[in-house]
Amino acid sequence: MKFFLLLVGLIGTSTQALGQAATSQAVTPRAVTFDELEGFTIEANIVRDQLTQRDGRQVPQQAHTNWRVVIGPELSIKSTVNATFHNPHGQSKADPLTGSFILDQSRHISSRGGGQGMWHFEEHTLTFTRTFDQGALRIKFAFFWKGESLSCEASESFARENGTGPIALRSAIDGQPVTIVRAKQISSNCRIFKAT
């Protein structure tokens, strides 16, 4: 229950994000609804600079994350995440993470040390929030019409529980405990399309 309450709280605006990037949302002639997204696939690439700490040592790194999200019938969402990390010691690629969800239904996630995850749609923005042992990660896909085409923008940020404390999780590479000291998104791109 604690994880679910944290998850719901993080979807709101009361939490403080670590390096949350602002998403510019274009004014649209009509709102994008979740029903309109059925059958579409979203692909996004996000790059962030972060400082991690493990075994008492701090290491700067750059995280490159690729998201692929498929919106299916009956509020179903299937996601695949690939992450590559670059630091002074070299490059490491994490195993892909896949998951199937139903909109607004929280479920357990076993990766990165466990937690709860949920997709939520509000004000033409699809948001995925997942908790860690401490803190959480949130990714947002904002949708808008560009002429007759549907476009998207992506952003992600970490959030501290109750605005304080570290982001504590397990490494995507070797499963060892790691703390995110700070993080800042530096770039992103997003596209949405219907498979033919």
Give the pLDDT of residue 147: 78
Lowest mean pLDDT among 4-18, 19-33, 56-70, 86-100: 4-18
| Residue ranges covered by each domain of the chain | 2-194
Lowest mean pLDDT among 57-71, 98-112, 142-156: 142-156
Q: Which runs of E-coded beta strand occur in the chain?
A: 17-18, 40-54, 57-71, 76-87, 90-93, 97-102, 107-109, 115-122, 125-131, 136-146, 149-159, 167-170, 177-194
On the question of pLDDT at 83 being above 60, the answer is yes
Give the pLDDT of residue 196: 66
CB burial of residue 156 (10 Å; 0-12, 13-18, 19+): buried
On the question of pLDDT at 7 being above 50, the answer is no
Provide the whole-model pTM: 0.84
What is the percent of the chain with per-residue pLDDT over 90, rounded to a whole number?
72
Binned at pLDDT 50, 70 and 90, residue 1 comes out as very low
On the question of pLDDT at 21 being above 70, the answer is no
The whole-angstrom separation of Cα 58 and Cα 83 is 20
Lowest mean pLDDT among 32-46, 71-85, 139-153: 139-153
Q: What angle do CA 93, 11, 64 make, to 5 degrees?
A: 15
The whole-angstrom separation of Cα 112 and Cα 26 is 34
Give the pLDDT of residue 47: 98
On the question of pLDDT at 5 being above 60, the answer is no
Mean pLDDT of the chain: 86
Q: Which residue has the tokens 């690939």?
A: 82
